[in-house]
Chains A and B, each alone.
Chain A
Amino acid sequence: MLTVSGLKRLHISVSFDLQDGECVVLQGPSGVGKTLLLRAIADLDPNEGTVKHDGTLREAMPAPAWRKRVTYLAAEPGWWSDTVQEHFMGWGDAIPLVTRLGLPDDCGPWPIQRLSTGERQRLGLARALMLRSPVLLLDEPTSALDPASAAGVESLIAERISNGTSVIWSTHDDAQARRVGSRIFTMGPDGRIEENGR
């Protein structure tokens, strides 16, 4: 279980719990601070507040260990090497996941430069899923995808959720929000979240 209490970052001030195997959708107008909130939970920006996973404070472990448990995925994931496969610890193990997301199994040597935004988004998701983190913070993970690919991503994440993974999913797509989320948080300009039933 992920426990967030009194998390403060700039104007944001948030408390909530996230159960194992639960998917909470985060909504709100652009620029309201959804990304900032997700980044703060992953401890990627300086912030205040108590954040625990399974009762362990994030400060009790090194930040890299925390982020392997509570993994943030940016809407436009970054790439530090030239080819696709260099970004995966074990490319061979990642191939089933990559093909499941609709990419060919020989895309390992492809140069990152040549990928479309949608391909990058799906490969970024595959790269993050390889960590098998118990908590995923997905920042608009299907924003650059066509409906078919988006459905593929939704079913893949749904599988992970049924296996006990907890997810916070930010999206602007109301229909998607109702499909994937068991609860919906709406973030307002005051930096607080309000829970709406689905």
Chain B
Amino acid sequence: MTYIQLSYGDLVLPALLVVMDGALSLVLRLKLEKQLAIASVRMVLQLVLVGYVLTFLFAAVSLLWTAVAASIMVLFASREIVARQKRRLPGIWSYGLGAGCTLLAAGTVTTFALLTELRPDPWYHPRYALPLLGMILGNTMTGISLGLDVLTNSLVRERAAVEACLALGGTRYQALLPVIRDALRSGFMPIMNSMAAIGLVSLPGMMTGQIIAGVEPIDAVKYQLLIMFLIAGGTGLGTLAAVLGGAHLLTDHRHRLRLDRIAADGPG
């Protein structure tokens, strides 16, 4: 397998495209240049850093270090989930629910794939485990944050409807079902859209990467299919657990709606 190697110098020209965006923003007074600059610098630093970290991990092939890296990824994912919520769950649950469901879904699905299909030696080899986890994590995180956001917002908005059902002797599950349905639909929508558009509209990054690296397209497709099934499975599992868990937290054993447990609008 051969592919064209890049030097850092080769990146200068493409980077000028972003500089051009920034210049246009300045000229047209779009006020996006500061955000763009911060995002670009973050991206460069994070990616270069992760490149070195992965180099180290691939050399070490240690279960401990791989697990540490995976936990850090899960922590950042749950931080991202909390940051995207307009309304937050109480106390420890604001992080706990997101982190728990992300860990549950992405962890289970990644481990499942490593142990049953890919079977690298050793099974936790970071060359397979971490990219796999990263892809599943990114999508699961999106599903969970969308699902929880719709759940909490709809419960606040649909409070009268939910309480009408409760007052008429409905159980908390019956009363919340329309809202739960909406939340799950929103959580699943991105992955369902990308499954429908994949290959026709978009060529997924991992498959493109493998093709550039010299892998036969049809082999790259098989890998991509595996990843898509894992992503769909992980997102489904994680979003379902998070939305049902959230619904449970925002009601109580006497089947009351407990919006008092939602913290006021979070920052952003």
Contact residue among A46, A68, A128 (Cβ-Cβ distance under 8 Å from B252): A46
On chain B, the residues within 8 Å of A79 by CB distance are: 160-161, 164
B148-172 to A contact mask, C-beta < 8 Å, 1/0: 0000000000111111111111110
Q: How far, in whole Å, are A67 and B256 apart by their CA atoms in the complex?
A: 11
- Verify B169–A71 contact, CB threshold 8 A: yes
Contact residue among B159, B162, B252, B255 (Cβ-Cβ distance under 8 Å from A64): B255
Give the size of the chain B interface in residues (CB under 8 angstroms). 23
B163, B169, B252, B258, most chain A CB atoms within 10 A: B169
Q: How far, in whole Å, are A80 and B168 apart by their CA atoms in the complex?
A: 12
Q: How far, in whole Å, are A46 and B162 apart by their CA atoms in the complex?
A: 16
On chain A, the residues within 8 Å of B170 by CB distance are: 64
Q: Is B29 an interface residue (CB 8 A)?
A: no
Contact residues, A27-71 vs B (CB, 8 A):
42-46, 62-65, 67-68, 71
Contact residues, A92-110 vs B (CB, 8 A):
none
**Given A63-B254, A63-B255, A80-B158, A42–B167 Cβ distance below 8 Å?**
yes
| Seed contacts A67-B166, A80-B158; 15 additional CB < 8 Å A-B pairs | A43-B256, A44-B163, A46-B252, A62-B255, A64-B170, A67-B255, A71-B168, A76-B160, A77-B160, A77-B164, A78-B160, A80-B162, A80-B165, A80-B175, A81-B178
Contact residues, B165-192 vs A (CB, 8 A):
165-171, 175, 178
Question: How many A-B contacts are there with CB distance less than 8 Å?
Answer: 68
Which B residues lie at the A interface, using CB under 8 A? 158-171, 175, 178, 252-258
Which residue of B is nearest A127, CB measured? B168
Q: How far, in whole Å, are A46 and B252 apart by their CA atoms in the complex?
A: 9
Q: How far, in whole Å, are A182 and B139 apart by their CA atoms in the complex?
A: 62
**Given A62-B255, A63-B254, A80–B178 Cβ distance below 8 Å?**
yes
